[in-house]
Structure 1
């Protein structure tokens, strides 16, 4: 009797009206979180200050011309708001990448950090900084190197997992963790060898994660790419759902998933490269957020993709608020705080042996 009641409750949570209601609520929470986060910091700002500055910059209303300059304008528009938008974009991007990777390898433990792809992107970025490739390749040089690092490591993880037999989810996780540790070792070595204090500070930024470098130019590009990618993966809910069923079932239904996997891998590598370029290495968002959403709404990617994107954005916005307000006159690297949440969740999932979407190995 109790089991049937639980099944009925779960079905109600996964129903279409409830899903639409939650999406509307989450979107409202996202907007409120963004506005509230801008008000929090060493300089006290009211909600009126925030929406007045943003309203002037977006619509140039004469009634808000008093907010066109001054301390409040500079703090809101040049420092905090781009940082909040960057946190939203990075949180969405890493969460979506986690959802897609978990479908590709059919394992809810998969995510950019665990599979070593974030570490590969970080290695690419630190290599560019260490050897001065950013000056040679232009302003986007570090981002290009981060993408190359993420893509090469993703290919290498798959290749290593196929050694000695076909890859399975456990081999992918283990090869990703090993290669991720190797990438971090090389990155740490470059930090150790860097003699220039500015270079050392930049390299440390990539290792620990921070949103303090958010500027409107890069923020808007990353936000547009992540938003477009989210819509794309939302439209791909059918192939993503088929991946959970396996290649045999998909071939029976007339779909070859190999092409989809390659396209998804390239696109997720691009997103991860951009996120690491903007914020450094931030681990476990792609694990924690999809797991929490999946517990409530199940494995249907038509619901999982948008809700994970919204939840990831809200999560990282408030993680960044905590990072810059937890200690007076200093900022805690956001990667440290997120890992403090993500690592216990990873251990919990390992203890439950939740290696498959059906709950077992």
Structure 2
């Protein structure tokens, strides 16, 4: 018989988790402050938050210049916050992927989702596809490309009506290379050198030139995706242990995998659209978090 964890140990563990969350929030705020401070025009941390609060609460007045307001509020803050949301989104996708295939090396690139999103985004940049969506053409193209990659991997990986993790990984890697080749071909066939240069610059990944409206779609996608995943932590834990265990607990593993595929495609497509292809975040952050709080998704996802 397995002895339950003593109450005092369980309480200590909960307290450590709460302290860790507080420490991480403090580190996050310090990181945001430091990132906004640093630049060709250095600005003190106090001035950074005075300017930020004055934009939220107009009754706050100060002796800062209009140039400082533009630098802090219109240039640096949107870029730093987008970096936070992009990192959070890729980390959540990485955690989900690793539970999905029970492989610690899984990340958004392993199923070709990032590569598929790149193809959709490049089509929008070079040839004006999805232009009827206006400013969201790039995001829609990336999401559609990610969804296409998901569909291809999903149908090729099915065998006898079931999805097998090893088969998913192998086919995902193959599809990823295929979409990367398509992206390179499209970039080479672009009509002008300027367009090709723009695509290559975008593929390198970056957050320069971010404006406040650019945050709307990533934030909404992250809220929807994370809300769904937080409701599915029990199923993710069961899937991480094993497929048979998950089925014993009454989880329809095939249906659940489809849902996870769709959510990760949505998040990856939106993130790639605003930031370009950024690697290793979805691979490394989940491992760092598990080192701190263990493998329980009830704790991993919030961190």
TM-score above 0.5: yes
* CA contact 2:74–2:211 (8 Å) conserved in 1: yes
Q: Distance in 2 between matches of 1:39 and 1:290?
A: 28
* CA contact 2:91–2:281 (8 Å) conserved in 1: yes
- Higher mean alpha-carbon deviation, 158-167 vs 270-279, is at 158-167
Note if 1:42 corresponds to 2:70: no
Match of 2:209 among 208, 213, 221: 213
Deviations 1:243-281 (A, max 9, x none): 113332223222223332222221211111110110001
Q: Distance in 1 between matches of 2:190 and 2:248?
A: 55
Q: Which residue of 2 aligns with 1:311?
A: none
Note if 1:204 corresponds to 2:200: yes
Match of 2:147 among 151, 157, 163: 151
Q: Distance in 1 between matches of 2:145 and 2:118?
A: 7
Note if 1:81 corresponds to 2:77: yes
Note if 1:115 corresponds to 2:119: no
Q: Distance in 2 between matches of 1:229 and 1:61?
A: 36
Q: Distance in 2 between matches of 1:114 and 1:179?
A: 9
Match of 2:273 among 277, 281, 286: 277
Q: Distance in 2 between matches of 1:76 and 1:32?
A: 15
Backbone CA RMSD of aligned residues: 2.3
Note if 1:176 corresponds to 2:172: yes
Question: Which structure 2 segments of 5+ residues have no match?
Answer: 1-8
Q: Which residue of 2 aligns with 1:248?
A: 244
Match of 2:285 among 286, 289, 292: 289
Match of 1:31 among 23, 29, 32: 29
Spell out the pairing of 1:221-236 with structure 2 (5 A cutoff): 221-236=217-232
Q: Which residue of 2 aligns with 1:351?
A: none
Q: Distance in 1 between matches of 2:82 and 2:201?
A: 15
- Scaled by the length of structure 1, what TM-score is found? 0.76
Match of 1:56 among 54, 57, 62: 54
Question: Which structure 1 segments of 5+ residues have no match?
Answer: 1-10, 308-361
SS at match of 2:135: coil
* CA contact 1:39–1:50 (8 Å) conserved in 2: yes
